[in-house]
Structure formats: structure tokens, C-alpha cells
Structure 1
Amino acid sequence: MSKFVIEGANKISGSIKVHSSKNAILPLLAASLLSSDPIEILDVPLLEDIKVLLQLLSHCGCDVKIEDGKLQITPDIKNGDINVDGVNKLRASILLLGSLLARGKKVVLGMPGGCNIGTRPIDLHIKGLSQLGAEIKLNQGYIEAKVKKLKGAKVYLDFPSVGATENIMIAAVLAEGETIIENAATEPEVVCLANFLNSMGAKVMGAGTDTIRVLGVKKLFGCSFVPIPDRIEAGTYMAMAAMCGGELELTNVICEHIRPIIAKFKESGVKVYEGENAVRVEAPDRILATDIKTLPYPGFPTDMQAPMMSMLSIAKGTSVIIETIFENRFLHVGELVKMGANIKVEGRVAVVEGVKKLKGAKVEAKDLRGGAALVLAALSAEGVSEVEGAFHIDRGYFEFEKNITSLGGKIKRV
């Protein structure tokens, strides 16, 4: 297992391009199974999660080729049995349920995995797909599903789950009749999926609002598509620059997607300048405390909670962070405390009393975003840190150490 060795207290400055969004690309890969023709997706960072889902597509029978970020998929479903290694590493594997059912396949799917950040039930996925006519049975460790013909229906989601919204959309585009998803997730990644499906000939309307309408079509066709930029990667690098006293320009950014993140940086005294598909941040002399409550979009994203906690650990004053999405998303707190942070947690509330400086230490990444937060802490800290569990970070940040080095940070993988 690799780890990062980081020499801290170096200024982070410069300019980098933000990669395409992992959380947008994963549903596109699942939806590519719906096409009757080859699919091309451009600017694809070959992250670990993307590699795993591509392996699962190959297992289904697809021909998959990727070179220099250009991904070509020739959909061919020979196998609906994907109770295999890899499924339990990846939460997004559940999206294959919708696409395989839409193609009329009997599915055997291992229970999806992913980061251990709390309970991530699939009941809304099951509820929605069942209402479209699927017969789904949960067994010990795997899911069995089959359908004669998916038919449009009205589906109300008890919670605006991004994954469930995407899964139902994917299944509904080839269903007979109209599907209406109420209390749908409004995240940019949902809009990106709708645009991809429509590029293939689907009829999806209302994505980005809480009511999505899907008119079923008989066939989808090939397309070439560029995914949206990664808003969480952008936010993470912004926090890094703010913590390390630098000035950073990020290109390939849709500022509207990071509006709640920008608002919190401004409250913290960070100067943020918005450009056309770009953003620039200037660090203050010292970050100011602010309060954060994670919420579904357009609220503050749960994926940015850990990097922001890292930043606020060296802020002037006391910050309160409330995590409303995942109950186990404070795994990084104990590791930040090892570096000198003053953080107390009670349930879903963390009280962060800022300290002037963090100190280098040996710490362990226990999930993706918490791992990134520890790297940020180590870059700003005095002395040398070791961050174990680099594989967690590789799941969501492409060329992480290369970008950090180009900006003046001292990091190496061991």
C-alpha cells in the first residue's frame, strides 16, 4: 500500500486545469449500456473508481478502449451476472441495475461498496425501479432483478438521492410511456447525465429541478460527449491554496456549480475572483472561522466537508460543522487531532477551534475526501507528515501529487 510523504509549510501558487467530474462520469458509463452504437466520452481521468466500472462494463461484454483521456465504448451485453470482484469496491456499480434492466436483462449484482462514510441504503433505487415494473429480490450479499417490460410511472423519492435519481432516469429512457420523478436530486451531475442521455436520443426534461420527466423511446444511438468539470476537485484545490498562503487560478470550472463553496470561502476571508470557466483565489493573512451545514444541492456539498474542516482547523475563531448527509463522515477528525487540531465531535456536529499551526504527523486516510483533507493539512503543517492509505485518494483525485508539485508543494508517493 502506498502513502504520501509531505513536507509542509510551503506556499501553494500557480494555475492548473480541473479534471472532468468522477461523480458525473460514473453514471455516464452505466448509461452507455443503453446505446445501440459506440459511445465516445472525452477528457476522462483514469481514476481508480472509473477503472473499476470500466472493468465491470467489459465483464458485461462491452469493448472498452481509453487513450489520452478519450474513452470509446462499444456496448454489447452478453452477461447480466456481475456478482464479481469490483462491485463491492464501488458505490456506483448499483447504476448498472437500471441500465441492464432497461435492456431487458436478468441481473445478478453484488451489493455495491465504496467509502465507509455511513449508511448508504439502496432502498430508493429498489423502490423506483420496482415501480417501473422490475422484480427485485435482495439476497445475502447480492441482488437479483428481472423485468418483462419496464413501464413509465410516477416515482416519489423520500430523499433527493443523487444515485436513485440517476438510476431511475437511466431505466426510464427505454421504458414504455412517461416516467415522472418527484423530489428528484438537482445536482449538476444529474443534469450532466440528462444531457448525455438526450445526446443519445432520449427525452429527459426538467433535470436540475425537483421534478424530472422522461418520455420513453425505443432506441438510443451513439454520441460524443464531454462531462462537466469536477466541482469537488476545484473546491479541494481552493482550500489548499487558502491554507498554504497562496494565489491559485483554476481553469475548466463552472462557477455556478461551486456557488455554495465560493460563499463559504468568502465568509472565511478568502478572496475569490470568478472568470469565464475559471476561478482565482487569494489566501488571507489568516483564515476566519465560519459555520457549515451540509445539504443536498444547491446546499453545501458533503464531499467538501472534510477539506473545509481541514482549512477551518487553522482559522481564527471557532467554527461549527453540521453533517446532515452521512452519519459517519468525521473519520478524519481523529487524524487531524494528531496534527494538533482542536476538534470536538458530538453526533453529527463538530466544533472546530482554530489553532495557529498544525504540526506534521503520521496519519491514515480512511476514506476519499477525508484523505484529501489530511493531505491539505500536511501541506500547511510545520514539518514532515506521512499520509497512509493513498489508494483512497486515488479514487477521486487524478494526478494529485503531480498537480501539487507543480504548485510548489513538496509531496512524494512511497
Structure 2
Amino acid sequence: MDSILVTGNGPLNGQIPIAGAKNACLTLMPATLLSEEPLTLTNAPRLSDIKTMTALLQSLGAEVSSLQDGQVIAMSSHNLTSQTADYDIVRKMRASNLVLGPLLARFGQAVVSLPGGCAIGARPMDLHVEGLEALGAEIELKDGYLHAGAPGGLKGAVHEMRFASVGATENIVMAATLAKGTTVLKNAAREPEIVDLVECLRKMGAQISGEGSSTIEIQGVDRLHGATHQVVTDRIELGTYMLAPAICGGEVELLGGRMSLVESFAAKLDAAGVSVTETQNGLKVARKNGRVQAVDVVTEPFPGFPTDLQAQMMALMCTAEGTSVLEERIFENRFMHAPELVRMGANIEVHGGTATVTGVEALKGAPVMATDLRASVSLILAGLAAEGETTVSRVYHLDRGYEHVVRKLEGVGAKIERIKGE
């Protein structure tokens, strides 16, 4: 099994190109199931999760081609052969559940395994099921599979979600595009990935308004057509690499970055003593002067502080001046990186959904183990700022969400290499 060796090497300087958003692309790909005509995505990230979604769509009979070194994905669902998403594929990645709404909307039936993914909490499917049932679907859980049917087709409805779930919002919106009548989805998630999905669906002929707000209105249409769509910039990759010069010093420009994607995160960095400025090509990040200051963080749905940047922010707080409190309100069991950071000399106390971090002068390199996708990159960031060598094992998590991480960090002066396992 591969590992990554990181050696603390001082300040970082240069440019890092930011890829298309993993979470957006994984949502856009199932949209091909809504139409017989081709859907082409550009600016696609080259990640193992994208390969998993490709395999899932192909298992349903969709044609999926990777072009231009994987940055273009050409899809067609004109001749689907199955409406069943098997456990063997779905277990690898939670986003696999996003085929449920499109299959149900177009074919009136779907059988989808309960999903897998990172071990960061239960993340149940109940919000997805409630929303689709509001549109007239009949859904039953049998032997670990959701058996969904809508013999008379889906029908528009007014539905308010109990929690602003991103995945449930995406599934319901896609299903509603082909439902009869108007659907009003209240307490909808507001993430940029949802805005990106709606923009793509609109290019396919969907009639949707209100994306980016808590109320989305969808007027159902008879059919959707083909389209070409550029995947939005990955705000989590952007935020992750913004932390590299914050934790190591130096100045790094993130190409393709947009402040609108990371405003709450950038505000926390500013409070910690890290400058974030917009440039013609993206965002430039550098410490203002000396050691960063401790700041408190509470994870919240967009536009609040992203849960997917909590682990990386904790790595920065490990060497900050003062004590910070990080509260996780989105997922339970999402502090598994904390014991690994403690192995590197960090001072962290975890109580339930709260972690208290007292900054230390310096971290020390150590062998550590990645427990999930974001935890893996937080350990790499910590290793960049630590004295000596840090070996991060189980980095297959990393491949799910960060393309060419070694190459990108090497490009700004980091001393990092991937060690091939046996």
C-alpha cells in the first residue's frame, strides 16, 4: 500500500492550479441518466471517485468516455440496460446514491444499494427518501437496497427538508426536472456544487430557479436534451492549498480560485493572520507577519465554514499562537485525524463534537495513518510544517479527492514524494 513521505522544508512559493470540483462532477455525471442525448463535462478532476462513478454509470448501460487526459468526460444514456445500482460499486462511494433520483424520474423505477464512502458518520438516506416520496415515489428498504417505484410518474410538490442536505437536495432537484407540475424545495442546501448542477440542468432544458438560496423551484418538463458544461472550481482543494503557505510560510497563488467559493474560510484565515487577495488568475495567499493566531471554528452548511476543511484547519491551528476550539456540527466521528496529529506533537483534546487545540512551537515528523479523505491531506499539511520526516500511510483515501497532490506541492517547493507499496 502506497504512502507519502513529507519532510519539513521551509516556506512555499509559486503557483498551484486548482482542479474542477470532485463533489460537483460526481453530481453532474448522474445527470446524464435524465436524457437520451449526450452530456459532456469539461474541467473534470482526475480522481479515483470519478472512475468509480464511471463504472457505476457503465454498469447501468451508459456510455462514458474519458478524453483529453481525463479532463473531459463524454457520456450518453440513450441505451440503458439496467436501473439497479449494485452494492459492489455503490459501497465504495457515497455519491453513488445520486443515480436514484434520475433513474426514478426517467424510468419510474430504481434499485439502489445503500452507499459507502468515508467513515465519518452515519449519513443516512432518509432525507433523500422523504423528498422523493413527497414527489409520489414509493420506496422500500429490502436487503440493503432501496427499491423505488413511481408507476404513474413523479408529480411536483412542496417539500421542506428537515436538514439542508447537499446530496438530498441534488437528488430531489434532478428527480423534479422530469416530474409533472411544479416542485418547491424548501430548506434546500446552497452549496456552489448545487448551483453548478442547476446551471448544467438548465442547459439541458430544465426550468429551475432559486439555486443558491434556501428555496428552489423546479417546473417539470417532458424531456431533457444534451449539453456541454464546465465543472466549477473545487473549493475544497482550493481551501486546502490556501493552507499550505499559511502553515509553512511563503506566498502561493491558487490558479482558478474565486473568493466567492471560500468567503467564510478566507475570513477565518484573515482573522488568524493570513492574507488572501484576489488576482487576475486566482487567489494569492501569504502570512501577514510571523506566527498565525488561534481562531475558533464552527462547521456549518454553505455559506458557513465547510466541514471538508475542518481537518486541514486543525493542522494549521496546531502551530498557532493560543488556543482554538473547533466544533463539528455536520458529521459525527470526524476528528479521527486528531490522534494522528497528537503523534506529531500537537496538543489536542477531543470531547464529543468539539476539539480544543493549544498551539505548539513546532510539530515533529512521525509515522501517521490517514483515516479518511480530508484527514489524509491534513496530515500532509502538518508534515510540511513539522521538523523531520512524516510518513502518511493509507493514502488511497487521498486519491479520491486530490489529483497530483505530490506534483502540485513539489511545484511550490515542498519536499514530498510518494512511496510505492508492495
- The equivalent of 2:210 in structure 1 is 206
Percent identity over the alignment? 46
- The equivalent of 1:25 in structure 2 is 25
Deviations 1:147-197 (A, max 9, x none): 111111111100000100000000000010000000000111111110010
CA distance in 2, matches of 1:50, 1:312: 32
Residue 39 of structure 1 deviates from its aligned partner by: 1.0
Residue 36 of structure 1 deviates from its aligned partner by: 2.1
Residue 8 of structure 1 deviates from its aligned partner by: 1.5
Match for 2:96 among 93, 97, 117?
93
TM-score by structure 1 length?
0.98
CA distance in 2, matches of 1:391, 1:53: 16
Read off the aligned partner of 1:377 and give its amino acid letter.
A
CA distance in 1, matches of 2:87, 2:313: 36
- The equivalent of 1:59 in structure 2 is 59
CA distance in 2, matches of 1:43, 1:49: 15
- The equivalent of 1:298 in structure 2 is 303
- The equivalent of 1:80 in structure 2 is 83
Residues 276 and 161 from structure 1, CA distance in 2 versus in 1: closer, same or farther, beyond 3 angstroms? farther
CA distance in 2, matches of 1:308, 1:114: 22
Deviations 1:13-72 (A, max 9, x none): 111211010011111011111122111100111211111011100011111111221110
CA distance in 2, matches of 1:12, 1:278: 17
Match for 1:216 among 213, 220, 223?
220
Read off the aligned partner of 2:94 and give its amino acid letter.
R
Q: Secondary structure at the match of 2:16?
A: strand
Deviations 1:356-413 (A, max 9, x none): 1100000000000011100100111110111011110111111111101111111111
Deviations 1:323-360 (A, max 9, x none): 11111110000000000000001111111000011000
- The equivalent of 1:228 in structure 2 is 232
2:249 is equivalent to residue 245 of structure 1: yes
Is this contact kept in 2: 1:10–1:410, CA < 8 A? no
- The equivalent of 2:72 in structure 1 is 70
Is this contact kept in 2: 1:44–1:70, CA < 8 A? yes
Deviations 1:123-165 (A, max 9, x none): 0000000111111111232211111111111111000001000
Q: Secondary structure at the match of 2:45?
A: coil
- The equivalent of 1:281 in structure 2 is 285
Deviations 1:303-333 (A, max 9, x none): 0100000001000110111111111110000
Comparing 354-363 with 246-255, greater Cα deviation is found at 246-255
CA distance in 2, matches of 1:302, 1:91: 16
Residues 192 and 277 from structure 1, CA distance in 2 versus in 1: closer, same or farther, beyond 3 angstroms? farther
- The equivalent of 2:352 in structure 1 is 347
CA distance in 1, matches of 2:183, 2:108: 20
Is this contact kept in 1: 2:85–2:111, CA < 8 A? yes
Q: Secondary structure at the match of 2:326?
A: strand
CA distance in 2, matches of 1:305, 1:389: 20
- The equivalent of 1:162 in structure 2 is 166
- The equivalent of 1:125 in structure 2 is 128
CA distance in 2, matches of 1:276, 1:218: 42
The 5 Å alignment of 1:173-192 reads 173-192=177-196
CA distance in 2, matches of 1:277, 1:74: 34
Is this contact kept in 1: 2:186–2:214, CA < 8 A? yes
- Gaps in structure 2 of 5+ consecutive residues: none
Residue 257 of structure 1 deviates from its aligned partner by: 1.2
Residue 277 of structure 1 deviates from its aligned partner by: 5.3
Is this contact kept in 1: 2:17–2:408, CA < 8 A? no
Comparing 361-370 with 96-105, greater Cα deviation is found at 96-105
Read off the aligned partner of 1:51 and give its amino acid letter.
K
Q: Secondary structure at the match of 2:350?
A: strand
CA distance in 2, matches of 1:88, 1:10: 40
- The equivalent of 1:110 in structure 2 is 113
Residue 80 of structure 1 deviates from its aligned partner by: 0.9
Is this contact kept in 1: 2:86–2:112, CA < 8 A? yes
CA distance in 2, matches of 1:81, 1:137: 14
TM-score by structure 2 length?
0.96
Read off the aligned partner of 1:55 and give its amino acid letter.
A
Comparing 143-152 with 364-373, greater Cα deviation is found at 143-152
CA distance in 2, matches of 1:257, 1:413: 30
- The equivalent of 1:413 in structure 2 is 418
CA distance in 2, matches of 1:32, 1:260: 32
Read off the aligned partner of 1:182 and give its amino acid letter.
K
- Gaps in structure 1 of 5+ consecutive residues: none
Comparing 78-87 with 373-382, greater Cα deviation is found at 78-87
- The equivalent of 2:381 in structure 1 is 376
- The equivalent of 2:40 in structure 1 is 40
Is this contact kept in 2: 1:254–1:277, CA < 8 A? no
- The equivalent of 1:142 in structure 2 is 145
- The equivalent of 1:7 in structure 2 is 7
CA distance in 1, matches of 2:368, 2:309: 20
